[in-house]
């Protein structure tokens, strides 16, 4: 519903590129919340205790983090490369004579 609303009101029109990167539908906010909600409902239906519910939710969150770890690592590497390039550029300029 959230994604649909954003599309209807054209939230990202100011920053739209010609081509948007594809988003895995399994990892949208709506999909992640639905997945966690499913875990909560199943545990409650089993009559789980608060500790059991917390443990099941923790496992589900860890699973999601493990599944998305490669993307996170690629993003961190991209930021590291950009930071290094900027540092190199500033160091070059600070070494230049006016």
Tell me whether residue 96 is in a domain.
no
pLDDT at 79 exceeding the cut of 80? yes
Tell me the C-alpha to C-alpha distance, in Å, between residue 85 and each of 33, 49, 67, 71, 78.
37, 52, 30, 21, 11
Tell me whether residue 16 is in a domain.
no
What pLDDT, on the 0 to 100 scale, is given for residue 38? 95
d(C-alpha 29, C-alpha 21), whole Å: 16
1-12 core/surface letters (b: 16 or more CB in 10 A; e: else): eeeeeeeeeeee
pLDDT digit string (tens) for 20-50? 567 788 888 899 999 999 999 999 999 989 9
Tell me whether residue 49 is in a domain.
yes
Tell me whether residue 19 is in a domain.
no
Tell me whether residue 53 is in a domain.
yes
What pLDDT, on the 0 to 100 scale, is given for residue 54? 93
**Residue 66 domain boundaries:** 24-75
Mean pLDDT of all residues in 58-82: 84
Tell me whether residue 97 is in a domain.
no
- The pTM for the full model equals 0.53
For the chain, what is the domain count? 1
Tell me whether residue 60 is in a domain.
yes
Tell me the C-alpha to C-alpha distance, in Å, between residue 50 and each of 40, 44, 60.
10, 9, 15
Mean pLDDT of all residues in 71-81: 80
């Amino acid at each position: 519903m959230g994604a649909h609303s954003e599309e209807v009101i054209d939230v990202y029109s100011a920053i739209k590129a010609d081509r948007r990167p594809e988003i895995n539908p399994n990892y949208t906010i709506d999909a992640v919340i639905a997945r966690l909600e499913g875990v909560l409902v199943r545990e409650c239906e089993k009559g789980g205790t608060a500790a059991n519910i917390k443990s099941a939710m923790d496992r589900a969150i860890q699973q999601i983090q493990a599944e998305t770890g490669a993307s996170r690592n690629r993003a961190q590497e991209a930021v590291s490369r950009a930071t290094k390039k900027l540092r190199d550029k500033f160091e070059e300029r600070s070494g230049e004579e006016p």
